[in-house]
Structure 1
Amino acid sequence: MARSVIVTGGFGILGQAVAQAFAEAGDRVARIDFAPGPKEPLSGALDIGGVDLTDAASTQAALDKVVAAHGGIDVLVNVAGGFTWETLEGGSIGTWARMQSMNLITAATITQLALPSLKASSAGRIVNIGAGAAIKAAAGMGSYAASKSGVHRLTEALAEELAGSTVTVNAVLPSIIDTPTNRADMPDADFSTWVQPAAIARVIAFLASTEAGAITGALIPVTRGG
């Protein structure tokens, strides 16, 4: 039976790969993004652009569209977020707030609002995107790592909160993802060691499956090229 799947940040490189994996499995996919529209089409997807996921009203309106079109919500994958490299000495305190907003508050907002629908599912699944870099932050990674560490703690706390329900909550912790932006930012790196978006998508698809129903509160590193 086709499930209703939401992928936030679905217009980006990783979000596109995740949404495509679910669509190819026969699920009904909705892509929600801050960008006005996708760069790459996805056949059959419900695309909802221009959504500020830190705003409850905007987020609820998007969720209402998904429920109306797909009959509910079974899977929520929180891909939406951002990255910056900035030292504390040379940077801005505003960057710390921006990273928290983009990476943590977006996930917390849509998750909270989607919980009633997810709990009504026979096998609700929440998968968050954490970061390997948040396990131990390197120089310049403080604000980003702090926000992703928040995602890790959200994952763990919510998994315990929902322990008596049908919903599981897990996170994947990628190393450097092979994207055009990362290649441009690190042109001298060995791209062969970077993890592929499709490889991350496969892990997410497993965590969202019925077979993974016994896994919740896990922070799973995804570090091989794939």
Structure 2
Amino acid sequence: MARSVIVTGGFGILGEAVARAFLDAGDKVARIDFAPEAKCALSDALDLGGVDLTDAASTGAALDRIAAAHGGIDVLVNVAGGFTWETLEDGSIDAWARMHAMNLLTAATITQLALPALKASAAGRIVNIGAGAAVKAGMGMGAYAASKSGVHRLTEALAEELAGTRVTVNAVLPSIIDTPTNRADMPDADFSTWVQPAAIADVIGFLSSSAARALTGALIPVTRGG
């Protein structure tokens, strides 16, 4: 039976790869994004642009549309987020609030609002995007790593909270993802060592499957290139 899948940040490179993988598996997919519209349309995907995932009213309205169109919610993949590199001395304190909102509050807001539907699913799945860089933060990574560390703690706490339900909660922790933006920012890097978006989508697909039914609260590094 086709599941109802939501991918936040679905208009970006990773979100698109995740959405494609679920569509290829025969699932019903909705992409939610802050951007007004996707640069690349996906056949059969329900696209909802211009959604502020830190705003409960906007997020709730999007969830209601998806549940009505797809008959509930079975899988929530929280890809939405952002990145900044700046030292504390030369950077802006505003960056810390911005990273907190983009990476942590977006995931917490939509997850809280989607919980009733996910708990009603025969096998609810929540998969968050953490970061390998949040395990040990390097110079200039403080604001980003702090917000992604919050995603890790959200994953662990929510998994324990939902232990008596049919919902599992896990996170993938990618290293550098091979995207056009990262290539432009680091043109001298060895791209072959970077993680492919499709490979991350494969791990997310496994965590969302019945084969991963006994796995919850896990923070899974995804670091291999090629």
Normalised TM-score (structure 1): 1.00
Q: Structure 2: which amino acid aligns with 1:28?
A: K
State how 1:130-209 maps to structure 2 within 5 Å. Answer: 130-209=130-209
How far the C-alpha of 1:41 sits from its partner, in A, is 1.1
How far the C-alpha of 1:124 sits from its partner, in A, is 0.1
How far the C-alpha of 1:133 sits from its partner, in A, is 0.2
How far the C-alpha of 1:48 sits from its partner, in A, is 0.3
Q: Residue in 2 aligned with 1:61?
A: 61
Q: Residue in 1 aligned with 2:50?
A: 50
Question: Percentage identity across aligned positions?
Answer: 84
Report the Cα distance in structure 1 between the residues aligned to 2:193 and 2:40, rounded to whole angstroms: 26
Q: Structure 1: which amino acid aligns with 2:48?
A: I
Report the Cα distance in structure 2 between the residues aligned to 1:40 and 1:205, rounded to whole angstroms: 21
Q: Any gaps of 5 or more consecutive residues in structure 2?
A: none
| Partner-residue secondary structure (3-state), 1:170 | strand
How far the C-alpha of 1:159 sits from its partner, in A, is 0.0
Report the Cα distance in structure 1 between the residues aligned to 2:216 and 2:70, rounded to whole angstroms: 25
Report the Cα distance in structure 1 between the residues aligned to 2:124 and 2:67, rounded to whole angstroms: 14
Show CA shifts across 1:124-165 (max 9, x none). 000000000000000000000000000000000000000000
Q: Residue in 1 aligned with 2:119?
A: 119
Report the Cα distance in structure 2 between the residues aligned to 1:89 and 1:131, rounded to whole angstroms: 23
Report the Cα distance in structure 1 between the residues aligned to 2:56 and 2:163, rounded to whole angstroms: 25
Q: Structure 2: which amino acid aligns with 1:218?
A: A
Report the Cα distance in structure 2 between the residues aligned to 1:92 and 1:178, rounded to whole angstroms: 27
Q: Residue in 1 aligned with 2:106?
A: 106
Report the Cα distance in structure 2 between the residues aligned to 1:80 and 1:224, rounded to whole angstroms: 22
Q: Structure 1: which amino acid aligns with 2:78?
A: N
State how 1:65-80 maps to structure 2 within 5 Å. Answer: 65-80=65-80
How far the C-alpha of 1:167 sits from its partner, in A, is 0.1
Q: Any gaps of 5 or more consecutive residues in structure 1?
A: none
CA RMSD of aligned residues (A): 0.4
State how 1:28-43 maps to structure 2 within 5 Å. Answer: 28-43=28-43
How far the C-alpha of 1:225 sits from its partner, in A, is 1.4
Report the Cα distance in structure 2 between the residues aligned to 1:223 and 1:139, rounded to whole angstroms: 20
Q: Residue in 2 aligned with 1:210?
A: 210
Q: Structure 1: which amino acid aligns with 2:208?
A: A
Show CA shifts across 1:3-42 (max 9, x none). 0000000000000000000000000000000001111111
Show CA shifts across 1:66-115 (max 9, x none). 00100100000000000000100001111000000000000000000000
